[in-house]
A and B are shown apart, each in its own frame.
Chain A
Amino acid sequence: MGKIDCTCSLSEISDFYGKEMATRDAYGIVLTELGKKNPDIVVLDADLSCSTKTVNFAKKFPDRFFNIGVAEQDMIGVAAGLALTGKIPFASTFAIFATGRAWEQIRQTVCYSNANVKIVATHGGITVGEDGATHQALEDVALMRVIPNMTVIVPADAYETSQVIVSAAEYYGPMYVRLGRSKVPPVMPKDYKFQIGKAYVFRIGKDVNIIANGLMVSEALKASEILNKEGIDTGVANFSSVKPLDEETLLKIAKSSKLIITAEEHSIIGGLGSAVCEFVSENSPVTVKRIGVRDTFGCSGSWRELLKFYGLTAEDIIHTVREFFKK
Chain B
Amino acid sequence: MVDIEFLKEKARQIRIEIVKMLANAGSGHTGGSLSAADIVTVLYFYKMKHDPKNPNWAERDRFILSKGHAAPVLYAALALSGYFDKSLLNSLRKLGSPLQGHPCCKDLPGVEVSTGSLGQGLSVACGMALGLRLSGINSRVYCLLGDGEIQEGQVWEAAMTASHYKIDNLCAILDHNNLQIDGSCTDVMNIKPIEDKFIAFGWNVFTIDGHNIKEIVEALDTAQKVKGKPTMIVANTIKGKGVSIFEGKVQYHGVAPTKEELEIALKELKDGKN
Contacts and interface: CB of A to CB of B under 8 A. Distances in A.
A179 interface: no
Interface in B25-77: 58
A109 B65 CA distance: 12
A66 B165 contact: yes
Interface string B86-124: 000000000000000000111000001111110011111
A79 B157 contact: no
B126 interface: yes
Contacts of A114: 106
Given A64-B134, A86-B131, A112-B114, A74 B158 contact: yes
A272 to B, nearest CB: 29
B127 A80 contact: yes
Interface residues of A, number: 31
Contact of B128 (A68, A76, A82, A104): A82
B13 interface: no
B97 to A, nearest CB: 16
Interface string B241-263: 00000000000000000000000
A77 interface: yes
Given A42-B134, A64-B134, A74-B157, A115 B128 contact: no
A81 B131 contact: yes
B134 A87 contact: yes
B106 A78 contact: no
Contact of B127 (A64, A84, A112): A84
Contact of A71 (B114, B124, B161): B161
A234 interface: no
Contacts of B164: 69
Contacts of A323: none
B117 to A, nearest CB: 4
Given A63-B134, A64-B134, A66-B165, A84 B106 contact: no
B223 interface: no
B161 A78 contact: yes
B135 A78 contact: no
B117 A78 contact: no
B114 A73 contact: no
Nearest to A72: B157
Nearest to A109: B120
Nearest to A70: B157
Interface string B197-228: 00000000000000000000000000000000
Contacts of A68: 157, 161
Contact of A77 (B105, B120, B129, B131): B120
Given A113-B105, A113-B106, A81 B127 contact: yes
Nearest to B106: A114
A99 interface: no
B134 A78 contact: no
B129 A81 contact: yes
B124 A108 contact: no
A185 B124 CA distance: 39
Interface in A113-133: 113-115
Contacts of B106: 112-114
Contacts of B116: 108
Contacts of B153: 73
Nearest to B155: A74
Which has the most chain A C-beta neighbours within 10 Å: B104, B129, B130? Answer: B130
B160 A69 contact: yes
A75 B116 CA distance: 18
Interface string B149-177: 00001100110110011000000000000
A85 interface: yes
B125 interface: yes
B191 interface: no
B154 A105 contact: yes
Given A74-B158, A78-B126, A81-B131, 17 more contacts: A42-B134, A66-B130, A73-B123, A74-B126, A74-B157, A77-B158, A78-B124, A78-B130, A80-B127, A81-B128, A84-B124, A84-B131, A85-B128, A104-B117, A109-B113, A109-B117, A113-B114
16 contacts: A42-B131, A69-B161, A74-B157, A74-B158, A75-B123, A77-B122, A77-B124, A77-B126, A78-B127, A81-B126, A82-B128, A83-B127, A105-B123, A105-B154, A109-B120, A113-B104
Which 8 A-B pairs have CB atoms at the shortest separation, nearest pair first? Answer: A81-B127, A77-B123, A85-B131, A74-B157, A78-B127, A71-B157, A81-B128, A81-B124
